[in-house]
Amino acid sequence: MEALILTLDASGYPYCWMSWQDAVCHQVANRVSRQLGGYEFTFKGGLCRRTGEQSTVTITSIMALRGNNPFAWRKASIPLTNLALFRRDRHMCAYCGKQGEKGLHLTKDHIIPLSRGGQNDWNNCTTACSRCNHRKNDKTPEEAGMQLLFVPYTPSLHEGLLLANRLILADQMEMLQSMLPKHSRLHQ
Ligand SMILES: [Zn+2]
């Protein structure tokens, strides 16, 4: 099963994806407080030694765990992968505005080049087609005479959850979409 389970803390706040294997473990260990998802998945377990019957475990697409999110006080950092970056920028080159996916090769551009002290983080990275990236080379946008068509930003936790998973189920999507900040480019 490829789908991931959207995990909520006890107050109903989504904070991570978990694999179905982890979800089954939490379910069996009685750490799940609520199952909210619209999709159910049932797995067969081992045979019970006493009765000889096979156990089953059912999990759903959205599950709340007992206790509070242990990471809530920390600023969650969203891994900066090329895939997540391209999705944040809707597969659009930030310099020429061309859309990727149709044969256009997309790359990650460091707006202030690394060699000039730029950081490899969400605020300094943008999607660029290989042509624009090549043209910009080791220059800042000003030096290259190239203007950014949109401003890069660090995704919120919920945007990060949307960016990190390629296979989001409809009910998970609905919950995460309802929690996006207004300025987000990920609204559907
Ligand atoms: Zn371009």
**Tens digit of each residue's pLDDT (9 = 90 or more) over 105-117:** 999 999 999 999 9
pLDDT of res. 19: 93
pLDDT of res. 144: 96
Span from the CA of 136 to the centroid of ligand 1 (angstroms): 10
Neighbours of 21 (CB within 10 A): 11
Q: Helix, strand or coil for residue 85?
A: helix
The total domain count for the chain is 2
Span from the CA of 120 to the centroid of ligand 1 (angstroms): 20
Same domain, 91 and 138: yes
Span from the CA of 57 to the centroid of ligand 1 (angstroms): 49
pLDDT of res. 120: 96
Span from the CA of 21 to the centroid of ligand 1 (angstroms): 41
Same domain, 71 and 13: yes
Residue 41: beta bridge partners?
A: 59
Helix spans in the chain (H) = 20-28, 82-88, 130-136, 141-144, 157-164, 170-177
pLDDT of res. 72: 53
Span from the CA of 161 to the centroid of ligand 1 (angstroms): 27
Domain residue limits at 130: 82-144
With respect to residue 153, please indicate whether it lies within any of the assigned structural domains.
Answer: no
- Cβ-in-10-Å burial (0-12, 13-18, 19+) of 183 comes to exposed
Same domain, 68 and 103: no
Residue 131 has pLDDT above 80, yes or no: yes
Span from the CA of 160 to the centroid of ligand 1 (angstroms): 25
Reported confidence tier of residue 74, pLDDT bands at 50, 70, 90: low
Instruction: Give me the mean pLDDT over the 146-169 stretch.
Output: 91
Same domain, 167 and 128: no
With respect to residue 185, please indicate whether it lies within any of the assigned structural domains.
Answer: no
Span from the CA of 158 to the centroid of ligand 1 (angstroms): 28
With respect to residue 24, please indicate whether it lies within any of the assigned structural domains.
Answer: yes
With respect to residue 90, please indicate whether it lies within any of the assigned structural domains.
Answer: yes
- DSSP notation for 94-108: TTT--BSSSSPPEEE
With respect to residue 62, please indicate whether it lies within any of the assigned structural domains.
Answer: yes
Tokens of 62: 């959205």
Reported confidence tier of residue 75, pLDDT bands at 50, 70, 90: low
With respect to residue 173, please indicate whether it lies within any of the assigned structural domains.
Answer: yes
Residue 45 has pLDDT above 90, yes or no: no
Query: Mean pLDDT of all residues in the chain?
Result: 89
With respect to residue 139, please indicate whether it lies within any of the assigned structural domains.
Answer: yes
Same domain, 123 and 167: no
With respect to residue 51, please indicate whether it lies within any of the assigned structural domains.
Answer: yes
pLDDT of res. 152: 93
CB contact set of 185 (below 8 Å; sequence gap of 6+): 88, 89, 90, 150
- Tell me which residue of 56, 55, 60 sits closest to 33, measured CA to CA: 60
Same domain, 92 and 55: no
Span from the CA of 100 to the centroid of ligand 1 (angstroms): 9
Query: Which H or E run includes 65?
Result: strand 62-65
Span from the CA of 32 to the centroid of ligand 1 (angstroms): 47
Span from the CA of 157 to the centroid of ligand 1 (angstroms): 28
Span from the CA of 86 to the centroid of ligand 1 (angstroms): 13
- Tell me which residue of 15, 20, 126 sits closest to 73, measured CA to CA: 15
Residue 187 has pLDDT above 60, yes or no: yes
Span from the CA of 164 to the centroid of ligand 1 (angstroms): 24
Q: Within a 13 Å sphere around the CA of 145, how many CA atoms are in the beta-carbon half?
A: 1
Residue 188 has pLDDT above 90, yes or no: no
Reported confidence tier of residue 78, pLDDT bands at 50, 70, 90: confident
Q: What is the pLDDT of residues 57-73, one digit of tens each?
A: 999 999 999 876 555 54
